[in-house]
Structure 1
């Protein structure tokens, strides 16, 4: 068995050499040393069922052999050039994305992360419109750079002590705790209608774009009701404002369709993606309709964006997703998991709400008075980890259990997860 330094020494080095904003889960963390499809293994050899997929990244499973083979073959032939030279993989990937993305989205720019993709999409929106204000959603998360952090509507992630102006926030479609104090469907999508009020009152009218996640991941798996994005798009079109859809967490089969916005039958003007596009190889991209993309003519490059290894990994990932029809698998297994969580909700008052689409599901934990169960969720996560299950948490109060496993997970895995979660909730 290989020799590992262990969790204690990693924590020691982490304190000494990493900037302390880099936080970790668990009071008693383990050292992860190996991954295989839906499983992870620690330094002792203990197996964990990964129910978070590195935050919605390894949709095809850890170290998927088909993807790993493509990466190794590319590394052994041409590991790196940059975008100023011609390579085949980057244009093949762009062509492949044009065939998979919704509507008329066609031309892409590749970078190395979701943050960069959102930053680039915002820049493209300003170039195309000549406008510089933005609207974002409360509880949205779009990145960690200056602009994308300021487009983020979660105070947990807003660490910039000198925030930028020109960004207005609209209420999100959080039906469980409606910001408009209404109930769907009698509400007539009041939260979407409020976007027009924000345009009229909080902006100068010179808004380049609104950016939104189809399902807010870090925001607590906030899943808008049917019709929400159509109403939003009608309002934006009235004021000639572009719609940027952030599919960084939701893309590539996660929600039961290739992209989550397809559930809402709306075509974005610009769309961003990252995470699952290359199954863990660092990648980001933004894609747009040709008439928008073609306005970006001054020189632009990305040293690492779309390099041969990244593009080969992404092409292999898309082969697995489409070849094994992982979106349909996510839809079927997601419904099974959701039904199981709803049964647990009937049994355990701790579960206040269950929401999401496909294998992107959230269970909001609450106390008897519906206030967030902030301490209790950490107990649940720790106990589930000890039982061999890695579950995420998110939301503005970090009280939402997040289930975003690799899409190669099995129904038996999910039943095992539900049985153990039942035991843990009973123990509380």
Structure 2
């Protein structure tokens, strides 16, 4: 079976037709590969069977002018000269000048099945002609169809679904649920955690750049992140990844002493910084914004038990890890052999369409209903639910979870060779198609590579046609989370680009 030139893993997968793969073919429109930009090292970009439309929108200078005058003054754009993107197709993005880029960041881990996926596009267009919007005051089939499909993907008793619009909003609601159900207030999250940027969830988010002097979510307490690369304990047997840290430790393959040390730190938080009864504990199965940080095997299972002993509920934030991206499992929490009381999800749920959800037990849902009349104008709208159902269908039909496992493992092993070759590549980690490459001054000190050096490597990758993300407390980690439809030849190209960028960096250092 072939999907747009890519082999699939199961005979049951149904590939799209050629017309579905190339719905916007514009004959006579040319595009330019960014590998022609004159760098001395030029990895060959894989072919793409899609031609973008010619951009006829605002000029680049006019965009910069409007942005400066009317949009947020917070500097968030990547690169010295921000990209002005025009069109997307599957794993590819095209800028306003027709340059093509391989997208290995997916709009911050959001595009799950591919940019403008033809099946998702078709479903969205059909729903646009039927019904854009109603509210929860009126029933409509798409929400009920979607709720039934999503519920089958979660274990008992996680069967009650609240649909919202964003991950921050989902986590807001989950915080409220936890407090309503337990009649307690304190909630614990990890240092380095990112659970949203709304005033409420900022209390859970523990990354300095998101912190503020202004009052935000109260009664949120931070605990040590069990980071086996940068933390005080951990090493070569500790995490659930095809690639382990080169840092040595005294752990055995079946007995992680680092996990036990971090559990003691978690107990210390419970004994010193929260009330005797707590509302809950939030955890990303793998930390995203903090640079794809993985915990020791078995840690979350013990932490969940300790939280429940204090009367709290356990919340898995699957905003970045869910919907098959982990490869081995559909949900990140399943990789830790735990069962949360509440699961939040967003980003990949709608392949870039604003959509999110909170899934919980009937018992917790009833506790919330006793405290307030919960209503959401846009959450669970017809268009969002139709798109959400289409995304679930594509993940299954095109075996994208399996592709995440096979291609992600392939990429991790190739990236590990870069770590072995370059002293400044301190760690390669992750699972499926959620990968971090932590850059350091040297492997002994593990001190982060200076920001200006990170920025230049990032720019070099972009100039060769590869878009990757950034993360970590010091923005020292490259984040890789491509659409789940990518292929091994595209991974080969991405690794070649990273290798070339690192070579160029070492040449600059030597001058």
TM range (shorter): over 0.9
Alignment partner of 1:189: what SS?
helix
Counterpart pick for 1:92 among 122, 138, 145: 145
Q: Identify the range of structure 1 (72-81 vs 319-328) with the bigger mean alpha-carbon deviation.
A: 319-328
Counterpart pick for 1:314 among 377, 384, 388: 388
Q: Distance in 1 between matches of 2:260 and 2:277?
A: 25
Corresponding residue of 1:109 = 162
Corresponding residue of 1:270 = 342
Deviation for aligned residue 1:164: 4.3
Corresponding residue of 2:472 = 395
Correspondence 1:120-269 to 2 at 5 A: 120-179=173-232, 183=249, 185-256=256-327, 257-269=329-341
Residues 383-425 of structure 1, C-alpha deviations (whole Å, 9 max, x = no match): 1111111010101100101110000011000001101111110
- For structure 2, which runs of at least 5 residues remain unmatched after alignment? 1-53, 236-248, 506-511
Residues 284-332 of structure 1, C-alpha deviations (whole Å, 9 max, x = no match): 1101011111222232111110100000000000001112221111011
Q: Distance in 2 between matches of 1:224 and 1:293?
A: 30
Instruction: Identify if the C-alpha distance between structure 1 residues 106 and 20 changes in structure 2 by more than 3 Å, giving closer, same or farther.
Output: same
Deviation for aligned residue 1:28: 1.6
Q: Distance in 1 between matches of 2:144 and 2:317?
A: 22
Q: Distance in 2 between matches of 1:416 and 1:338?
A: 14
Q: Distance in 1 between matches of 2:288 and 2:483?
A: 15
User: Is the Cα–Cα contact under 8 Å of residues 171 and 179 in structure 1 kept in the other structure?
Assistant: no
Q: Distance in 1 between matches of 2:207 and 2:182?
A: 27
Deviation for aligned residue 1:204: 1.9
Number of positions where the alignment pairs a residue of Structure 1 with one of Structure 2: 428
Q: Identify the range of structure 1 (186-195 vs 259-268) with the bigger mean alpha-carbon deviation.
A: 186-195
Alignment partner of 2:410: what SS?
helix
| Larger Rg over CA atoms | 2
User: Is the Cα–Cα contact under 8 Å of residues 7 and 29 in structure 1 kept in the other structure?
Assistant: no
Correspondence 1:297-336 to 2 at 5 A: 297=369, 298-336=372-410
Deviation for aligned residue 1:104: 2.0
Q: Distance in 2 between matches of 1:383 and 1:189?
A: 41
Corresponding residue of 1:60 = 113
- Is 1:350 matched with 2:427? no
Deviation for aligned residue 1:376: 1.6
User: Is the Cα–Cα contact under 8 Å of residues 179 and 191 in structure 1 kept in the other structure?
Assistant: no
Alignment partner of 1:48: what SS?
strand
Q: Distance in 2 between matches of 1:181 and 1:330?
A: 26
Q: Which runs of 4+ in 1 moved over 3 A?
A: 179-184
Corresponding residue of 1:413 = 490
Corresponding residue of 1:371 = 447
Deviation for aligned residue 1:121: 0.4
Correspondence 1:76-91 to 2 at 5 A: 76-91=129-144
Instruction: Identify if the C-alpha distance between structure 1 residues 160 and 84 changes in structure 2 by more than 3 Å, giving closer, same or farther.
Output: farther
Corresponding residue of 1:382 = 459
User: Is the Cα–Cα contact under 8 Å of residues 7 and 30 in structure 1 kept in the other structure?
Assistant: no
TM-score, normalising length from structure 1? 0.97
Q: Distance in 2 between matches of 1:188 and 1:97?
A: 33
Deviation for aligned residue 1:8: 2.9
Q: Distance in 2 between matches of 1:406 and 1:119?
A: 27
Corresponding residue of 1:38 = 91
Q: Identify the range of structure 1 (9-18 vs 263-272) with the bigger mean alpha-carbon deviation.
A: 9-18
Alignment partner of 2:69: what SS?
helix
Q: Distance in 1 between matches of 2:379 and 2:69?
A: 31
Residues 161-217 of structure 1, C-alpha deviations (whole Å, 9 max, x = no match): 234441111111211011468845232432233222211110122310111100000
- For structure 1, which runs of at least 5 residues remain unmatched after alignment? none
CA RMSD of aligned residues (A): 1.4
Q: Distance in 2 between matches of 1:198 and 1:7?
A: 51
TM-score, normalising length from structure 2? 0.82
Corresponding residue of 2:16 = none
- Is 1:48 matched with 2:104? no
User: Is the Cα–Cα contact under 8 Å of residues 186 and 280 in structure 2 kept in the other structure?
Assistant: yes
Q: Distance in 1 between matches of 2:173 and 2:392?
A: 23
Deviation for aligned residue 1:156: 1.3
Alignment partner of 1:41: what SS?
strand
Deviation for aligned residue 1:11: 2.0
Q: Distance in 1 between matches of 2:493 and 2:87?
A: 21
User: Is the Cα–Cα contact under 8 Å of residues 32 and 40 in structure 1 kept in the other structure?
Assistant: yes
Deviation for aligned residue 1:378: 1.0
- Is 1:294 matched with 2:366? yes
Residues 214-247 of structure 1, C-alpha deviations (whole Å, 9 max, x = no match): 0000011001121111111121122121101100
Corresponding residue of 1:279 = 351
Q: Identify the range of structure 1 (401-410 vs 232-241) with the bigger mean alpha-carbon deviation.
A: 232-241
Deviation for aligned residue 1:20: 1.2
